[in-house]
Amino acid sequence: MARVKINDSGKPDNKWLIVRNSPVHGYGCFARRDIKKGTRLIEYLGERMSHKDADKRYEDADPNDNHTFLFIADRKTVIDATRGGNESRFINHSCDGNCTSEIEKGRVFIDATKDIKKGEELGYDYQIPRDRNDPPNVDKIYACRCGSPKCRGTMLWPAKRPKAKKKVKSGAKTRAAKKTTAKKTTAKKTTATKTTARKTSRGKSAAKKTTARKSKAKRGKAARR
């Protein structure tokens, strides 16, 4: 099948991968040659902007469109590959992919996590974060069809929607309930801190949903293909 030339970064075509039609979804990236585990394949390029500006840019996007070119680089910065992006924006999601995304000093890179044969499609876990404002059909919108035996059925993370918290009963148990809540809150903060530290040290990045998805069908990735 003929390759698809899509590179807006002004840089030469990537030596590790090419873009062409994918059986998973739309376009995809395929290994141009045999690739060894640990190889740095490509940098995720695009316009760098604040989360607020990214949400504003896509506030009118179709709420049922799960395509995206947005990537969270850090708490302040989002990379929009629709402006100055390269082939990396066409690497499809996979629950058990052969690649991973890594952040180094605010830059996002895609690395091979397995030995990849020439012609094999590249994929990594988008881990699109869930949000408390997600619509009831968010799992349908972001359904995964990667075909892997380990497919969890969704591009969202965590895989299952968190259960709603139980309300604290009033009355004689109020005091005990407050202590329990305080304890849970402290534990939660500790966990959040550990998670943040882990993401910072290991450099894991995640796809970002847009305001359009927050207000309508909630977070999603901006217009993709």
pLDDT tens by residue, 68-92: 678 999 999 999 999 999 999 999 9
Written as one letter, the residue type at 157 is W
Q: Say if residue 178's pLDDT is above 80.
A: no
User: Which pLDDT value is given to residue 209?
Assistant: 54
Q: Which of 25-34, 68-77, 138-147 has the highest mean pLDDT?
A: 25-34
User: Which pLDDT value is given to residue 5?
Assistant: 53
Instruction: Name the residue ranges covered by the structural domains of the chain.
Output: 17-164+204-215, 166-203
Topology given in CATH for the domain delimited by 17-164+204-215: Beta-clip-like (2.170.270)
| Mean pLDDT across 189-218 | 41
Contact in structure between 69 and 80 (CB atoms under 8 Å): yes
Q: Cα 146–93–28 angle (5° rounding)?
A: 90
pTM over 0.85: no
User: Which pLDDT value is given to residue 63?
Assistant: 75
Between the CA of residue 71 and those of 25, 206, 222, what are the distances in Å?
19, 6, 10
Q: Given its phi and psi angles, is residue 99 left (phi above 0), alpha (psi -120 to 50 degrees) or beta?
A: beta
User: Which pLDDT value is given to residue 169?
Assistant: 59
Q: Say if residue 111's pLDDT is above 50.
A: yes
DSSP 58-126: TTTS-TT-----EEE-SSS-EEETTTT--GGGGPEE-TT-SEEEEEETTEEEEEESS-B-TTPBPEE--
Backbone angles phi, psi at 42, to 5 degrees: -170, 155
| Mean pLDDT across 56-75 | 83
Cα(77)–Cα(94) distance, integer angstroms: 24
User: Which pLDDT value is given to residue 184?
Assistant: 42
User: Which pLDDT value is given to residue 163?
Assistant: 75
User: Which pLDDT value is given to residue 200?
Assistant: 32
HSE, CB side, 13 Å, CA atoms: give it for residue 187.
6
Q: Which residue has the higher pLDDT, 40 or 132?
A: 40
